[in-house]
Every structure is written in C-alpha cells, then in structure tokens.
Structure 1
Amino acid sequence: MRSPGSVKEVVEAGLCIGCGLCEALAPEQWKMGYTPQGRLRPSRTGSGSDDAILQACPGAVARANGEAAPLADAVWGGFHRMQEAWAGDPDTRFRAATGGVLTALAAQLLRSGEARFILHCAASPEAPMRSSWCISETPGQLLERAGSRYGPSDTLAGLRAALDRDVPFAVVAKPCDAGALRELAKSDRRLARNLVAVLAMVCGGASDLGKSQAVLDEYGLSEADVTLFRYRGHGNPGPTRIETRDGRAFEKTYGEMWADESGWRIQTRCKICPDALGEAADIAAADIWPGASPEGEDAGFNGVITRTEAGERLFRAACEAGGLTAGAAITPRQFDSFQPHQVRKKQALLARLRGMAAAGSPVYAHEGLRLEALDSQDAQEEAGTLLRVSGGRFREDLA
C-alpha cells in the first residue's frame, strides 16, 4: 500500500475529511471551502511543497497517541479507565450533547488555568446549519456553543490562530483531528509546548451538508431562512431543532433524524476511518445506548475513555472539582454493545484498504491501531471496495 504524495492526491482519492490542517499550515497554498456536494475541502491558492502537511494529514497518516497505557483491548486500544460520567452542572448536562462530558472537561481546563482557551467548532453565526472553528476563553462561551455538530467541520483551520497566541490551550475535535494534532506536535515545537489536552468524541462519521439540506427541503425552507440549526442537546439525545427568521420552529426526534442510515451522507474518509474511537486523544467520550440507539430521552450519560496520563489526571480533577460526576465502570465488551458498528468497521477496515490498494488508490499509513490483528479477511468487503474505487465512487475533484 502506498501513501498519497500530495494534498491533491489525498482529495482525489477520497481520503480528505476537510479538517482544515492544510489551510492552517500553508494558508498561502490552500483555502478551505464547500464543494457543490456540501463537503469542506481545500482549494489551491498558491504553489509550494505539501511535505509538512502530509506528515500530519489524516488522509496520509493515522496513528494512536503513542503513549503506553496500563490497560488495553484489541478493539478499543489503550486506556486508563472506561467509565460512565456526566456533567456535574445540570444546565451543562441538559444543553450539551449527551451528558456534557466534553464541555465539562474543557471548562475544567479553563477554570483551573491549565488552558487559556479551547479551540473547537460551533454553529456558524452567519450560517447556523454549518460549523466553523472558534476559540472559547470562558466556560460561559463553551456552554453557549455546546452541542453536537453533524456535518463538515474544519476545526484545525483555526490552529494557526491558536498557535500564534503562544499560550497553553486545548482542543475539542473529531478523532481524525486529534490524530493530526499528535503527528504535528512531533515537529512543531509551539504545539508540543502549548497543547495541554486533546478531547474527542467517539465518532460515527461526518455527514456532508446534503443530510441537513434534505431536512430543510422537507420543510420547504432555504438555508437563508435559518437562524438556528441545533442537531443535539437540550436533552439526551435531544431533538434536532430548526428556527427561522419569521419565527417558525421545526423539530425532529433523534430517531426521525437518523433512523434511515442510507440517508446519512457519510463522507468517504469516515467509511475507512481507522481511529473513530479517539485513540489519538487524551480523553474520548461516547454515547452509551445499548444497541447504539436511544430508547427515548434521559438525563444524559457519556461513556468516557481516558487514553493518557494527562487525560486520567484531567478526569480525576474534574470529578474532584464537581465538574463531572462519575458513574459505573464500563468494560470493553460493554462498549462493544453500545457501539457495535465501530467493532464491525474496525474488523472490516483492512479488507477495505486492500480493496483500495488493489484498485490503484493510495492509502494512509497506519500504525498502532491493530488493523492487522483485527482483520476479518472479508473477501466481499475487499472486492466491493475495489469495485467502488474502480468505478470512481471514491473520487473527488480538487477545486
């Protein structure tokens, strides 16, 4: 298997997730923008080498955090603890996604002074169906911007602005973004010095904007009509809620929004993601619904995986300060039942990558994620992927 040799090849092979790293590292060469298909992708604005970008690009390399952990599982990787938890503040628990754990952990870092700000994403003020990177300096800002964002997000496009402050900070982002930060920190001294924590969700995949646009179409709305597009939160899982400039409001339950998996519009890179479990992060938080589907609304509970010593210290500090409440311990096999789709994908992944390689496509480098040990040797997965790549279904054109 060969790795991509340029950002152009990453995009054209369907390996780009639109994280924004290339814009942050080389703004004179790359600018993020939406494609007609509703995906965030880089477009070329100047010439230059892509070598520094490719050393950390999630479309070119994927690795775990590299720190040995006291516990390990073939599927879920290294960890210090797996535990149920939720935000200690009832308002955070209600307004943020699921149990509000990532919001509460980020707030703990700000309150303790360990981090001066948090780089994350939130609803775009100008176009609330879309997400944009932002910097929060107070727990109040975090809570105002809390909630899941289903769709493209280029959080790492804000990394240059974060690094230029040259003070300690943390990042809340997707697992693929976490992997990019870990790789970049190996060569960027400012990032290695100032990045105090990487917090990630266990990710089911990022939709393109087509999923959200389909909801607007159902209600006969245009994006210009929308003043609020909240995907989750205000309960667990909470409704998808849309509000318009003329005062109308529309809601869908989680089941109504996501029951039809064929309409999720998941991006290609997500279907071959080697680390949706947040192994590159310090802490990963997950939904813990049996069978992966909520039975109704509840108060909000996260499954937490502390991946590093720093993550474990942060979890303990947040519990001691009252920012988090810890519940029952969770086993890896319980996580299997909460996230069975993750287990299936992890087991099928190497077959999919073989199919890509057989079709002549580049594949990201991957180390420490146990893909070989988990390989299902599924010939149908391999053959199906080969046909899809050969038929152009993975291909995207660089703008």
Structure 2
Amino acid sequence: MHDGMPLSPRAVVDAGLCIGCGACAAYPGSGEVDMELDRYGLYKPAGSAAWLSTPSAEFSRLCPFSPAASSEEELASSRFPQALHDDPLLGRYEALYVGHVEEGRYRQDGSSGGLATWLATELLRVREVDRVVHVVETREPEGTLFRYTISDDESDVRSGAKSRYYPVELSGVLRRIRAEPGRYAVVGIPCMVKTVQLVCQRDEIVRERVRYCIGLVCGHMKSTRFTESFARQSDVKRDAICGVDYRVKRPERPASWYRVGFRLRGGGERQRDWWHMLEGDWGAGFFQSPACDFCDDVMAELADACVGDAWQEPYSSDGRGTNIAVVRSRRIMKLLQDAAEAGRISLTGVDSKFAVSTQAAAFRHRREGLAYRLKKFPPPLALKKRVADISSLSPRRRAIYRLRRHISRWSHRVFCFSQLAHLGFVYVVWARTAASLYAGVTYSRGAPGKIADRIFRGTRA
C-alpha cells in the first residue's frame, strides 16, 4: 500500500519496482495473467487493463518490492526466531563457512565451489524434499534461454548447476507447487526467495509444501539483452545457441577472470573473456533491472542457507572455485557438518567480518549506494530500506553511483533503439563510451581517469 492505499500492478511497474517474479500472475484470483518479456528483455505481468490498473490490498502485500509487503527483517524474525546471530548485513544465521564440495563433479561443474547444487541434491538424497525448484537451460532455438523447472532426480538437479545471468520468473512453478502435492526446495536469488516467502505467508498450501529455500548471493538481475549483446560480440546468432556458460571454469586462472562460452547447435563452442566485452565490468550495471536499484538484500536473508562466491583472498585466486555459505537453518547446518566430517565437502568456519568482506562491493552498492539513490532519485512509492549514513560520501563516490544509474537505465534504451533502427553501431559506440567513463571515474583508467583525478583532486573511489 502507498500512504495507506492499495497498489495496482501498473503502479509498481510504472515506479520501476517490478522485478518480474511472477507472484502476482500465479496467485489465485488473478485471472488470466501471464509473465511476458517487455521490449527491454525483462519480465512484466501481462493481464487485462482492468486487472493491471485495479488497486488490490492482496497484491500490495504479495509483491516483494511493494511498501506494504513484509520486510526481510519481519519475515526473517518469523522464520528464524532462535537464530544464534543477527547481523545488520548478513541477517539472522547459525553459522558462516567458506568451502567447496569434495565428492563428485559438483565443484568442477559449478561456477564456484559447488555447494548450492550439492545442497539441493543432498536434500533429495536424504528425503528431506521430494522435488527441487531450480533454473535450467531451455535448449530451444527460439524464445528464452533459461527457465524455472521442477526436478525430482539428482542428475536433473546437477544439470542445472552454474550461474545464470538471465531473467527468470516463478509463476509456472508456483502454480505447479499449488497443484502437485509434495515437499519442495526452491533455489533462487534474494528477490525470488522473498517472493516465495511472501506467497507462503498468504497461501497455506504453498507454505506446507515449500520446506526449504536455498539462496544465491546476488549483485543484480540482468535482462535478456545482456546475453544477446555478449552473443553479438562473439559473432553468435540466437538460433545457433544451444547453451550458455557465463563462467567457463579454468582452474589455472583466478576465479574472478570470467569467460563466457556459447555452445553451438551445430556443435562446437565459442568462448570469450568478459574483459573483452563492452559490458564486461559487472559493477557498471549494464542491462540491470531498475528494481535492483532499490533492493537491500545481498545474502538472501530469508533462505535456509545462502551460497555465493568467496571474493576474498586466498579464495578469489583459486580458479577451482570457493563458496561463502550463510547457514540459517539448524537442519541444514547439521547436513553440512555431517558431510564435512565424512570428507564429502570441505568447510572452514569464518566470522561475520570476513563473510561481509567477500561481498564488500555488493553491500556498499546496496546500503551506501541505495541511500544515495533514495535521496537523489526516489521512486514514486515511498520505500523503507536499510541504508548507510552518506553524510560524508565523497563527490567521486557520488559520481560513480550516478554513472551506474545512467548506464543501467540507458543501456536498455540505446540497445532497443539500435535494434529497431538496425543501427547496431549506435549501441556499440555508446556502450564503449559509457564503459570508458565508468572505468575512468571508478578506477582512474585512461584519459577519462586523468580528468576524473583532476576533478576529484586525485581521490580514489
């Protein structure tokens, strides 16, 4: 609700706060509502004009970015009331670990240490759940490249390993959970986990069936155009793509040296390092969903366990991949500890300071950057978010946040225009210029960096 008044789906979309989760489309009573990709390659609800424009108290409490929906802190206090720790950045938790999977090919086949996929399959193996909700490749020559599916076989869950920098939505699997009895585990980024918990809050059937959520650390969601642009720069057409590996693993290289690989329908693969791509700097925010600018959850605070990359030495230099794991459920902690004692996985306990340091850039953008964005670019709907004090924020840091916002917004528009006008070079020139300016202000690189150093008197970001 906004100022005590219910919100409509259109109000959330127009405010730039729709993440495209699909909860509104799947909720009973929504009618014939689907989730469709908009012109920018991001999911939005598609229903009748009356449904889109009608305010609803039920919708207002279900949408994860609605001001009327329960916050992460409120939901977490209900889910994990007896948690040993409550950290302002990490949320409630029982234990913190860095580690990786020793058995099988989980580590080799995963983007990082393999713990997320291993945990999902372990829940199946010990019969804690009957099915796992996770993201897989579609392998279709047209349409989307990835989607949510439901698997009841360990090998099918393992086939869904790897990071997917691509939009997905939950409406189809939420309908199936409601229609098909069983015990489910859901794997997803923070906003998707929150969506599931908000649905559970209001739907007794789903609440009874969803037993676990496995969270994935998230920087932000990309649109489909991110992958399309990578493919173009790799000279690969959409109908030739059989699969995408956004992080081809090479043990001899640091884990942070990303390399994308396109598996081709006629056989073979085409690979290219991210640093050769126009959008290769993740922090610049190319093709980011606008809603991500107003998210304050990095570590999936509502998941039973959250897994991500341990971006801190000595782990970030280990090309084999290492996970940071935030464990909130005591049952999950027991599974992990038993497996570690048996030598099936490797775990090392860490403190909260170290855990936060592995995602330092994400926390800075979601707390300090969020405070700046709420002040300078407030959305039409009043949001209550956890933010940092920015009273002493440097002019250079402010410039970085403005550049990120500019890039995230205009990358969608310029790419769309270049497609409609059949002028691909327009986007290339714009993106190269934007990336150069961002690198100059942020890292003092090149001629833009020298100018930025003079403007900001040599201070670094």
CA distance in 1, matches of 2:211, 2:19: 24
Tell me the CA shift for residue 356 of structure 1.
4.5
Secondary structure in 2 matching 1:186: helix
1:218-233 paired onto structure 2 within 5 Å? 218-232=233-247
Inter-CA distance 146–155: structure 2 relative to 1 (3 Å threshold): farther
Change (3 A) 1:107 1:54: same
Distance of 1:387 and 1:107 partners within structure 2? 41
User: How do residues 1-399 of structure 1 correspond to structure 2 at under 5 angstroms?
Assistant: 2=2, 5-26=7-28, 28-45=31-48, 47-48=50-51, 50-60=56-66, 61=69, 62-64=71-73, 65-66=76-77, 67-68=80-81, 69-126=83-140, 127=142, 130-232=145-247, 234=249, 237=255, 239-253=259-273, 255-256=275-276, 259-261=280-282, 262=284, 264-290=286-312, 294-295=316-317, 298-319=319-340, 325-345=345-365, 346-357=367-378, 361-364=380-383, 371=386, 374-377=388-391
Between the aligned partners of 1:354 and 1:383, the Cα distance in structure 2 is: 14
User: How much does 1:393 deviate?
Assistant: 5.4
- Distance (whole Å) between structure 2 residues aligned to residue 240 and residue 377 of structure 1: 40
Distance 2:238 2:285 in 1: 19
Q: Where is the helix percentage greater, Structure 1 or Structure 2?
A: 2
**Aligned-pair distance for 1:382?**
9.3
> 1:340-390 CA deviation, whole Å, 9 max, x = no partner?
112212233244334454xx6114455xxxx15x3434787999999999x
Distance 2:132 2:124 in 1: 8
User: Structure 2-normalised TM-score?
Assistant: 0.74
Structure 1 residues not aligned, in runs of 5+: none
Letter in 2 for 1:131: F
SS at match of 1:336: helix
Structure 2 counterpart of 1:190, one-letter code: I
The amino acid that maps onto 1:265 is F
Q: Deviation string for 1:316-340 (max 9, x for gaps)?
A: 3544566x51332222222333211
Distance 1:331 1:312 in 2: 16
Q: Which structure's relative contact order is higher, taking Cα pairs within 8 Å and 6+ residues apart?
A: 1
Change (3 A) 1:175 1:209: same
Contact 2:166–2:224 (8 Å) recurs in 1: yes
SS of residue in 1 equivalent to 2:135: strand
Residue 290 of structure 1: CA displacement? 2.2
**Partners in 2 of 1:385 and 1:334 — Cα distance?**
25
Are the counterparts in 1 of residues 139 and 243 from structure 2 also a CA contact under 8 Å?
no
2:41–2:224 contact (8 Å) kept in structure 1: yes
Give the Cα separation in 2 of the matches to 1:206 and 1:378: 29
Cα distance in 1 between the residues matched to 2:181 and 2:384: 30
TM-score, with normalisation over the residues of structure 1? 0.85
Q: Which amino acid aligns with 2:328?
A: R
* CA pair 344-384 structure 1, distance change in 2 beyond 3 A: closer
- Corresponding residue SS for 1:150: coil
Cα distance in 1 between the residues matched to 2:371 and 2:59: 24
Which blocks of at least 5 consecutive residues in structure 2 are unaligned? Answer: 414-461
* Alignment coverage as a number of residue pairs: 386
Change (3 A) 1:103 1:386: closer
Larger radius of gyration: 2
Change in CA separation of 1:318 and 1:190 when aligned onto 2, cut-off 3 Å: farther
Q: Which amino acid aligns with 1:44?
A: G
Q: Which whole-Å deviations, capped at 9, do the CAs of 1:63-114 have from their partners, x for residues lacking one? A: 1422232113232222111101212323111112201111010001101111
Judge conservation of contact 1:19–1:157 (CA < 8 Å) in 2.
Answer: no
Aligned-residue offset at 1:305: 0.2
Percent identity reads 23
Encode CA deviations 1:44-64: one digit per residue, 9 max, x unaligned.
147556433331211213414
Cα distance in 2 between the residues matched to 1:112 and 1:231: 31
Q: Distance in 1 between matches of 2:139 and 2:43?
A: 17
In the aligned structure 2, how far is the partner of 1:99 from the partner of 1:56?
34
Secondary structure of 1:224's match? helix
Note closer, same or farther for the CA distance 1:384–1:340 as it changes in structure 2 (3 Å cut): closer
Aligned Cα root-mean-square deviation (Å): 3.4
Change (3 A) 1:120 1:204: same
Provide the C-alpha distance between the structure 1 equivalents of 2:150 and 2:44, rounded to a whole number of angstroms: 21
More strand by share: 1
Moved more, 277-286 or 22-31: 22-31
Q: Within 2, Cα distance between the matches of 1:195 and 1:118?
A: 10
Matched residues in 1 for 2:13 and 2:227: separation?
23
Counterpart Cα distance in 1 of 2:285 and 2:238: 19
- Provide the rounded CA distance (Å) in 2 between the counterparts of 1:361 and 1:292: 44
Alignment check: 8 A CA contact 1:211 1:263 kept: no
User: Secondary structure of 1:5's partner?
Assistant: coil
